[in-house]
Structure 1
């Protein structure tokens, strides 16, 4: 007696003699999943070329807005060399300042002082990395987490409240406040996942609206005595965190273990970002939960047929995503200051994280290094503005062009004449034989 197939298995209909059997087609994934898969399937070469092209575009803008170049253009046909020299001085000076402000400053005496710009890059990169990991994890499930701003605000409020309201021993206090930030971000992100799973509400709309809810909620609490507003203050600002809750600086740890005195701002939050990257890599690539995440991201209809609870995956993905973004809120409150925070504590990190996730192709280590790149652009951008009088908006142009090019891989391939993925090389004739 033949075995009966499970009801969830598609049956193969009998065909007429001489014809192939009628096999039902696999369900098509939603458009959002297909778009994300196309964006993140690009090669590393396309990513590097997108960054190079963005820097070239920024170089054109730097030269066009430089007063020396504009002056030399007035007599271009008389002395064209002056124009090209002015362009070289303008662009070269800008990118030299960018390097010296983000990697190494050769003008400072000693290696410890020269390497200080790199530590500033790590400081700016830390919240971008952890928030980018959260957005990238949602991308792998085919979801758009646009709610980073709200999740950072809620997590910052929870971490801040714990940091000044509950005295604890050193290290324990910072750990509890960090866990509180993760829980706050996870709950706020989980709202969007739950609404999508239960009602089908699109997570883009829900997370954008939750951004406004969080902004006005935290703004109200910062203006209300007894909630988040500092005692005796009329300004919408929170109390300062207790010193036991503040992340120790890595320079303090170096001094503690016998190193020389340094004044670097980079703190333990960067080590947390490395741990978070390893954690996300393990979850996505080595765990059964990560397999379910990737399956739903590829095709939720096929994953449902295979027995995966797609609704639960949506909820878990947004919980994990919000929790990772919450680490950025903890770093903003506990990492760099002890003077309290305001409603602008997110500092645009929630939206920059989307750019970081796109540039990193939604891969954990790709997000880590793209976070370092954007941290370098931020750290070097301020030095470029101070030394060369170049607007900081040029850095925003570079970021925007990178997003444009990453989201349109065919444009990069067209500019650099790269073949399409999987395309065969052009036909060429060699010794009368046509080869591919």
Structure 2
């Protein structure tokens, strides 16, 4: 049984009367709530959820009332109540923040129009589904109105399983396949590239499904390269990538001063003799057989990739030097790369690989217009993925920072085709 509208009515009434004591002492229902496979929502979740509603009301009272007077939106909010206490639901909270930000950016009149459109187009959908579609339509409209307007007029934009379900493709079913945080990252250019990938039924999984196998299969590599050579982005696209090593900076040399610091840090930290790394950064199924210390000792000249290996041993000044080197680095890359529209997926892919001991990289990347890349209409695991060709590309970096707790470098980057 879902919490009834009384929860929301109490929130609004207490806020309207400015009765702080009543708000603080509000007793929320302790019902069992339909959430996923039926979970009991804790009192902490209810409390945090109430605070979310109160905060939204304080910022945009009229819009909050419009939302909470809509049965479908209330069902959507109820369905997300559990994320306010579940420590494993950080991503769901980000979805709710994207929704909240969209409400703040959208006018009351536009909100009413969007709600009416969803209710009219999907009259027989369950309340929660309609509420979720309203939320995502609000997010897309608030993030890029041109993308919202375009997607309404472009019925070709949909996932292949939507058509097979028997429904007619439309805006709301299209964006219904993407989490709120992904919709929040969509631009008009992104929508058009998604449309292109789905319309032509692009599928790269047979090539990239097993990256270790693919990297050794010359025939498959050639096939994919030839196919992607005919695909070029028609606009700049922003996406994310996770790297499980620092190998991409191997071609960037460091000067003698920094090299000396790197070797000294490895020498002074016993952990560097115990921590094993991959002999080949591209083969994650191989054994990590060589320690950081032995690896650095075996090299005559060190690269920026090598220097990043000892970041966790360095102080603030050393980290600052590393991030400056990254920001100043310009590299040319000739490898296949995949980029996701979901920053959480990129981060999880880089860091949730148990035996990785090298620093990881998470980058927010702008793939420039003209880059050879295409959107995968059959992305597995909800990866929302663009695949970039192995032709020569220029890469530049900015805003580099390092998180010692996770041993991860975060940075922004630009990728563009090398002019011939």
| Pairwise TM-score range, normalised by the shorter structure | under 0.3
The structure having more radius of gyration, on CA atoms, is 1
- Could you state the TM-score of these two structures normalised by the residue count of structure 2? 0.22
Which structure is higher in RCO with an 8 Å CA cutoff and minimum separation 6? 1
Normalized per residue, which structure has more helix? 1
- Could you state the TM-score of these two structures normalised by the residue count of structure 1? 0.21
